[in-house]
Structure 1
Amino acid sequence: MSETTDMTDMTDMTDNPYSGLFRLDGRRAVLIGAGGIGHELALGLAAHGAQVICADRDADVARAAAAATGGEPLVLDVTDPAAVERAARDAGPVDVLVHTAATNVRKRILDYSLDEFDRVVGLNLRATFSVVQAFGRGMVERGTGSMILFSSIRGSVVEPGQSVYAATKAGTEQLVKTAAVEFGEAGVRVNAIAPGVVETPLTAQIRNDDAWYTAYATKGALGRWARPSELTGAVVYLASEAAAFVTGSTLFVDGGWTAVDGRFTPPA
């Protein structure tokens, strides 16, 4: 006795509700900080269908990212609150906001100047607050949106010379939680991504020191540094419907750095 398959009973994959779970078609995304990691994020957002506005203080960087994604360049200094307000207004309805811009002065506390303190806090925390406020206002009014702010493993674990940077990243994560609570009833999600060490031009000095490179590489569970492209999936996830019930969270993309208890591997 032969068996036959009724093809009408098979699910048409084109109608599968999960097939487009990570798609961003028709969504307008603003990416602030379009160089290095940001450039890869812009490529990833565009590849999933988003229209990307590539914002950076450096006009050449903004134009390069826009050209690579078919998006729009925007010259923006986020330390200027009025400029941030204008950008949020002129961008039109924004569905996704990704903010990566940050700086660091690597010095021990006793060597830090107040000018350096103000510079790091001014970009990493004050400007981040301005961005959340300006773009969050439009999202709340429209009743939809996903905001993704970049934190760091330094928001949770520290090392000498990272005091102010670490404080700003911890502050960013608390800002994310508060914004998630305040914007949540309007349907707006707010999350953070915390990378570990990433191979970018900004980390070139550290990577060129063999001892430093190895120490950082072996700190994580995967035993290596991240490539900028490896942060893209997390951003696409948080921007998409795949993360529709995720808000107020920090997603660690750190190769297991924060899971490892020190660099020493004891004998079994």
Structure 2
Amino acid sequence: MQEMFSLRGKTALVTGARTGMGQAIAIGLAKAGADLILLGRRPDMQETRTLVTETGRRAETVVLDLSDPDLVQWRGREIAERYRIDVLVNNAGIIRREPAIEFSRESWDSVIQTNLSSLFLLTQPIARPMLERGEGKIINVASVLSFQGGINVASYAASKHAVAGLTKTLANEWGPYGVQVNAIAPGYIETKNTEPLRRDEERNASILARIPAGRWGKPEDISGAAVFLASRASDYVNGHILVVDGGWLAR
């Protein structure tokens, strides 16, 4: 059974790997045996790199600003030529909170570009060698807001609904070639994106009251799902949105 979840001999690329869920996913994949390519907007990824190498696995870093789709497309081809990537985890994402009637064009464009357009434009070149080899795993990070509307997060909810739909489309097209495309939909996780909600006593209390687990999720709660979807254990799982939310959507 351990062999089914082993990632030894595999290389995984994780975007948004500097902190939070991306860091936790990278460490989880390393503990399962994978070497890591850590992609982030800023070069200060030493903490994640150290935590990965402490597991005995190798780690390299790639600096790339995902807010620039043209740059992402070009660098994506460069990354695909330089590395053999067996697992791609599209974790990076941003959020902007404004009432919909006042939502700015900048807030709309920046979130859609980072969360959706760049995700697709990076996945294209990374997936091409996977399709040629006849094997690979792609894991997108969606959200419970792939199923709900949320409040004051028009661009984020739109982008995460689209990520879920894109996941299914790519699974349909690439499944016959041995590449599984799935997504993880985290619930309310303790990350920098959710700091404003946790600082708001009233909102924090209302969120906690709805989560059957009785707590906010931790980034580490996502890593097990990532290992499963990256491993042979999920070879017949395709186009699935795996919710990890402490029971939020069941309420």
TM-aligned CA deviation for residue 132 of structure 1: 1.8
- Which letter maps to 1:255? G
1:245-260 matches, cutoff 5 A? 245-260=236-251
2:76 is the alignment partner of 1:84: yes
Is the partner of 1:21 in helix, strand or coil?
helix
TM-aligned CA deviation for residue 109 of structure 1: 1.4
1:22-171 matches, cutoff 5 A? 22-34=5-17, 35-61=19-45, 63-70=46-53, 71-78=59-66, 79=68, 80=71, 81-90=73-82, 92-171=83-162
Is the partner of 1:52 in helix, strand or coil?
strand
Is the partner of 2:2 in helix, strand or coil?
coil
Instruction: Tell me if the contact between 2:90 and 2:141 (Cα under 8 Å) persists in the aligned partners.
Output: yes
Is the partner of 1:60 in helix, strand or coil?
coil
2:226 is the alignment partner of 1:235: yes
| Structure 2 stretches lacking a partner, 5+ long | 54-58
Instruction: Tell me if the contact between 1:76 and 1:84 (Cα under 8 Å) persists in the aligned partners.
Output: no
Is the partner of 1:20 in helix, strand or coil?
helix
TM-score (normalizing by structure 1): 0.87
- Which letter maps to 1:155? S
TM-aligned CA deviation for residue 160 of structure 1: 2.0
How many angstroms apart in 2 are the aligned matches of 1:159 and 1:184?
32
TM-aligned CA deviation for residue 115 of structure 1: 2.0
Q: Deviation digits for residues 94-153 of structure 1, max 9, x if unmatched?
A: 111111111111112110112221111111110011122121112111111000000000
Instruction: Tell me if the contact between 1:65 and 1:73 (Cα under 8 Å) persists in the aligned partners.
Output: no
| Structure 1 stretches lacking a partner, 5+ long | 1-17, 261-268
Instruction: Tell me if the contact between 2:4 and 2:233 (Cα under 8 Å) persists in the aligned partners.
Output: yes
Hey, what does 1:195 align to over in structure 2?
A: 186
Hey, what does 1:4 align to over in structure 2?
A: none
TM-aligned CA deviation for residue 256 of structure 1: 0.9
TM-aligned CA deviation for residue 237 of structure 1: 0.4
Instruction: Tell me if the contact between 2:95 and 2:193 (Cα under 8 Å) persists in the aligned partners.
Output: no
- Which letter maps to 2:151? P
TM-aligned CA deviation for residue 202 of structure 1: 2.8
How many angstroms apart in 1 are the aligned matches of 2:37 and 2:198?
31
Bigger proportion of residues as helix:
2
Instruction: Name which one, 1 or 2, has greater alpha-carbon Rg.
Output: 1
Instruction: Tell me if the contact between 1:217 and 1:223 (Cα under 8 Å) persists in the aligned partners.
Output: yes
Q: Which runs of 4+ in 1 moved over 6 A?
A: none
Instruction: Tell me if the contact between 2:97 and 2:153 (Cα under 8 Å) persists in the aligned partners.
Output: yes
Hey, what does 1:21 align to over in structure 2?
A: 4
How many angstroms apart in 1 are the aligned matches of 2:47 and 2:121?
25
What is the RMSD of the two structures over their aligned residues, measured on CA atoms? 1.2
Instruction: Tell me if the contact between 2:115 and 2:159 (Cα under 8 Å) persists in the aligned partners.
Output: yes
- Which letter maps to 1:38? G
TM-aligned CA deviation for residue 159 of structure 1: 2.2
Q: Looking at both structures, which has the greater relative contact order when contacts are Cα pairs under 8 Å and sequence separation is at least 6?
A: 2
Q: Deviation digits for residues 37-76 of structure 1, max 9, x if unmatched?
A: 1111111101010011111111102x32122212111112
Hey, what does 1:9 align to over in structure 2?
A: none
How many angstroms apart in 2 are the aligned matches of 1:162 and 1:134?
30
- Count of aligned pairs: 241
